[in-house]
A and B are shown apart, each in its own frame.
Chain A
Amino acid sequence: MISIQGLYKQFGKLEVLKGIDIEVEKGNVVVVIGPSGSGKTTMLRCLNVLETPTKGVISIEGNTLDFSGNVPKKNIAAFRRLTGMVFQSYNLFPHKTALENVMEGPVIVKNENKESARKKAQTLLEKVGLGDKVDYYPAQLSGGQQQRVGIARALAMEPKVMLFDEPTSALDPELVGEVLKVMKDLATEGMTMIVVTHEMRFAREAADEVIFMDQGVVVERDKPENIFTNPKEERTKKFLNMIQ
Chain B
Amino acid sequence: MTELIKKSQRNGLVKMYLSSIFADPERTARLIDIAQSSFLPLLKGAIFYTIPLTIITFIVGLVLAILTALARISHVRIFQMIARVYVSAIRGTPLIVQLFIIFYGLPNIGIIIDSYTAAVIGFSLSVGAYTSEIIRAAILSTPKGQWEAGYSIGMSYSQVLRRIILPQAARVSIPPLSNSFISLVKDTSLASLVLVSEMFRKAQEIAASNYEFLLVYSEAALIYWVICFILSIIQQVLEKKLDRYV
Whether A1 is near chain B, meaning CB under 8 Å from some CB there, is no
Within 8 A of A (CB), among B129-160: 143, 145-146, 148-156, 159
Known: A87-B149, A109-B159. A95 touches B154 (CB 8 A): no
Whether A80 is near chain B, meaning CB under 8 Å from some CB there, is yes
- Establish whether residues B152 and A104, one from each chain, have CB atoms under 8 Å apart when the complex forms: no
In the complex, number of A-B residue pairs with CB atoms less than 8 Å apart: 64
Bound-complex Cα distance A13 to B159 (A): 33
Q: Chain B nearest CB: distance from A19 CB in Å?
A: 25
Q: A102-118: contact bitstring with B at CB < 8 Å (1 yes, 0 no)?
A: 00110011100000000
**Which B residues lie within 8 Å of A153 (CB)?**
149, 153
- Establish whether residues A94 and B168, one from each chain, have CB atoms under 8 Å apart when the complex forms: yes
- Establish whether residues B155 and A109, one from each chain, have CB atoms under 8 Å apart when the complex forms: yes
* Interface residue tally for chain B (C-beta within 8 Å): 21
Q: Which of A80, A87, A91, A137 has the most CB of B within 10 A?
A: A91
Whether A195 is near chain B, meaning CB under 8 Å from some CB there, is no
Q: Which of A95, A104, A105, A156 has the most CB of B within 10 A?
A: A95
Q: Classify the interface of chain B: helix, strand, loop or mixed.
A: helix
Within 8 A of B (CB), among A59-81: 77, 80-81
Q: Chain B nearest CB: distance from A232 CB in Å?
A: 35
17 additional A-B residue pairs with CB within 8 Å, beyond A109-B159, A139-B246, A156-B153: A50-B148, A77-B154, A84-B152, A84-B153, A87-B152, A91-B148, A92-B149, A93-B146, A95-B168, A95-B245, A104-B163, A105-B154, A108-B163, A137-B244, A138-B245, A153-B149, A157-B154
> What is the interface of chain B, defined by CB distance below 8 A to chain A?
143, 145-146, 148-156, 159, 163-164, 167-168, 171, 244-246
